[in-house]
Amino acid sequence: MDTLLSANESKAEPREAILSVRDVKVVFSGFQAIKGVSLDVGEQEIVTIIGPNGAGKSTLMDAIVGKSPVASGHVYYRGQDITNRSPHAIAHMGIGRKFQNPNVYNELTVFENILLALKGSHGVFASIRAKLTSVKKAKIESVLDRVGLLDKAFTRVSSLSHGQKQWIEIGMVLAQDPAVVLLDEPTAGMTPDETRDTGEIIKMLAQNYSVVVIEHDMEFVKQIAQRIVVLHQGEKLTEGTVQEVQSNPKVIEVYLGRERIDTAA
């Protein structure tokens, strides 16, 4: 923690971008949900997106992965324009997304869930019955080790905690071999211990992946964030280090002040 905070004291400069959003606008029935947002995500960087409810955080992620149509602007991955490509095509290129609620197979084991998610797997029963090669086995074990579930490999998912199910789904994203991992409120519903452990998992992931996290829990954000982007009413309010964002008067007014009031209520 001390190392992370000291690193955050310096000016946050985006590294060479693997993912770039340029002046993106998303419109639903005449309503501008995203109003010209731009941001960069560097190689092996953790970027955390915060903001009040309705700020457009999840919609921005939807636009990146092709789930919400971009009305204008562009999304680039490794310099290639991927704007409005299909979610399947974008995932295949190397951008993996985990949604807020875990979508796992409760009646299967943890190992089998990761097996089903492996790139190139097709169908539940076909994947499970297929011959498990040493390469696939090693890949699954590596994924489970990254998310802290190697010792639960052959445990039925239904017996695990909500937090552990969230980690399984992160593992299922990693099994698709992404370079960029998008996580939408990964600590939702977790205990304090699970939240802290999730932060450590994400920091470890950043050694190999670029990670974008939507989150409300500011203590968790402080634990993981290398750079924070603040959205408000569909626009980017500011971005910077933890210290820079926490001391920004506009952020305090529209978000952090409200969070403190909510906590005290």
- Tens digits of per-residue pLDDT, 151-204? 999 999 999 999 999 999 999 999 999 999 999 999 999 999 999 999 999 999
The CATH number given to 1-7+14-94+178-265 is 3.40.50.300
Residue 159: DSSP 8-state: G
pLDDT at 16: 77
The percentage of the chain sitting over the pLDDT mark of 90, rounded to a whole number, equals 77
* pTM assigned to the model: 0.86
* Cα gap 207→151, rounded to integer Å: 22
Among 8, 17, 74, 6, CA closest to 212: 17
- Which run of H or E residues covers position 210? strand 210-214
At residue 125, what is the residue type? F
* Cα gap 160→36, rounded to integer Å: 41
At residue 46, what is the residue type? I
* Cα gap 35→128, rounded to integer Å: 45
Residue with tokens 């992404």: 178
Pairing status of strand 210-214 against strand 180-184: parallel
Q: What is the mean pLDDT of the chain?
A: 88
Summarised one tens digit per residue, pLDDT across range 42-58 is: 999 999 999 999 999 99
Structure tokens at 148: 């802290």
Q: Give the side-chain half-sphere CA count within 13 A for 147.
A: 25
Whether pLDDT at 206 is above 90: yes
* Cα gap 22→38, rounded to integer Å: 4
Q: Which residues contact 216 (CB under 8 A, 6 or more apart)?
A: 50, 185, 259
* Domain boundaries of the chain, sorted by first residue: 1-7+14-94+178-265, 102-177
* Cα gap 116→173, rounded to integer Å: 11
